[in-house]
C-alpha cells in the first residue's frame, strides 16, 4: 500500500479531501507526472497546428488528438486523486460498512484499517513487478448517511493515477449500497446452478 503517513480522518471527512503527510518521493512523483503529461499535451497541440486537416493526414490528426485527450485526462485524474467522491445511502451505517467489507472479500482485496469511519480495500497491481507487491487502495470514509472514497495507486516506477477502475468502483458502490440490493447466491457447481434456475 502507498505510504499514507498521519492520515487525518476527521479533517479528510470535513474537507472531502485526503489530508496526510506526503513523502518526498510522492511529491516528486506528482511533479513528474504533471510536468511529463503537460509537456505531452502541449507538444500534441503544437504538432496539431502544423498538420493540415485533410483525408491524407487523418491518421496523424487522430493520434495527436488522442494523445492530447489522454494527457489531459491523466492530469485531471492526478489532480483529483485526493478528492473524495461522495455516495449517499439510506441503509444503516453498520449495514453499509458490512456490505463494503463483503464486497472487498468477494473481490479478494486485502482489508485493513477497519475503524468506525475508515476502511482500506487493497488490491494487487503491477503484475510484472519483480518480487515486490504493489497495490491500488480504495480508501472509504463514513460520514453520517454517506461514504466518501477515493482510489490511489502505487507502482514500481511511478504512482500513476487510477484511470478506469475508479468508475467501475463507483458503479459497484452505488449498487451494493442501494436499499434493494441482494447478495447474489453463490453457485459453485453446475448442478447447484441448474437447480437454482428451476
pLDDT per residue over 75-119, tens digit each?
Answer: 999 999 999 999 999 999 999 999 999 999 999 899 987 777 899
Give the whole-number percent of the chain exceeding pLDDT 90.
Answer: 54
Measure the CA–CA gap between 101 and 95, rounded to whole angstroms: 10
pLDDT of residue 25: 87
Q: Which backbone phi and psi does 98 adopt, to 5 degrees?
A: -65, -35
End-to-end CA distance of the chain: 45
- Say how far apart CA 47 and CA 61 lie, in whole Å: 9
* φ/ψ of residue 40, rounded to 5: -65, -40
Neighbours of 122 (CB within 10 A): 20
The yes-or-no verdict on residue 10 having pLDDT over 50 is yes
Neighbours of 44 (CB within 10 A): 19
Q: Using 50, 70 and 90 to split pLDDT, how confident is the model at 126?
A: low
Query: Distance between CA 89 and CA 117 in Å, rounded?
Result: 15
Evaluate if pTM is beyond 0.75: yes
Please determine, for residue 15, whether its predicted confidence score (pLDDT) is greater than 50: yes
Amino acid at each position: 500500500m502507498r505510504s499514507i503517513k498521519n492520515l487525518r480522518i476527521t479533517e479528510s471527512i470535513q474537507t472531502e479531501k485526503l489530508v496526510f503527510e506526503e513523502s518526498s518521493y510522492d511529491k516528486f512523483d506528482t511533479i513528474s507526472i504533471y510536468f511529463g503529461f503537460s509537456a505531452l499535451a502541449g507538444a500534441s497541440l503544437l504538432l496539431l497546428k502544423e498538420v493540415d486537416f485533410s483525408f491524407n493526414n487523418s491518421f496523424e490528426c487522430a493520434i495527436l488528438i488522442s494523445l492530447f485527450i489522454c494527457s489531459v485526462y491523466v492530469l485531471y485524474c492526478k489532480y483529483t486523486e485526493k478528492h473524495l467522491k461522495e455516495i449517499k445511502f439510506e441503509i444503516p451505517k453498520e449495514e453499509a460498512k458490512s456490505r463494503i467489507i463483503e464486497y472487498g472479500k468477494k473481490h479478494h482485496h486485502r482489508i485493513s484499517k477497519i475503524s468506525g469511519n475508515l476502511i482500506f480495500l487493497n488490491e494487487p497491481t503491477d503484475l510484472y513487478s519483480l518480487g515486490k507487491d504493489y497495490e491500488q487502495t480504495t480508501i472509504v470514509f463514513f460520514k453520517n448517511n454517506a461514504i466518501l472514497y477515493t482510489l490511489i495507486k502505487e507502482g514500481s516506477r511511478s504512482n500513476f493515477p487510477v484511470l478506469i477502475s475508479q468508475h467501475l468502483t463507483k458503479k459497484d458502490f452505488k449498487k451494493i449500497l442501494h436499499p434493494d440490493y441482494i447478495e447474489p447466491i453463490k453457485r459453485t457447481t453446475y448442478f447447484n446452478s441448474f437447480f437454482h434456475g428451476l
